[in-house]
Amino acid sequence: MTDTTLDTQAPAHGVTLTTAASAKVKSLLEQEGRDDLRLRVAVQPGGCSGLIYQLYFDERYLEGDETVDFDGVEVIVDNMSVPYLDGAAIDFKDTISEQGFTIDNPNAAGSCACGDSFH
């Protein structure tokens, strides 16, 4: 069963991370033997609906980045992506039918059939 409890409310960049997602990120970083990486969340033009999510580990801080710590997991959002991601919640699912990180974004007016892009 997935724990969807949010670690904190109303962070600076508006993105929240569930405890399940935070635990998975910590696990992945431990497997890599890295403690210098942060979880970067961004929105880029592309996909069949206009915008795509990017979720990856990054060791850099860029000018204009907003960062929030969720129980030892630092989440970074660039200033161009903040308006598109304000209020979004990142979760991790591990069930028979679904496994992986998900982004619940109240700013997405619609998405494509594959779920990889939104507008």
- In order along its 119 residues, the chain shows pLDDT tens digits of 455 555 444 456 789 999 999 999 999 999 989 889 999 999 988 766 678 889 999 999 999 899 999 989 999 999 999 988 999 999 999 888 888 998 888 877 655 555 555 54
- CB burial string 13-52: b at 16+ within 10 A, e below: bbbbbbbbbbebbeeebeeeeeeebbbbbbbeeebebebb
Are 92 and 56 within 8 A, CB to CB?
no
Structural domains in the chain, sorted by start: 16-108 (2.60.300.12)
Give the pLDDT confidence score for residue 31 in this predicted structure.
Answer: 93
pLDDT at 49: 61
Q: How many CA atoms lie within 13 A of 39 on its CB side?
A: 26
Question: What's the pLDDT score for residue 60?
Answer: 92
pLDDT of residue 51: 81
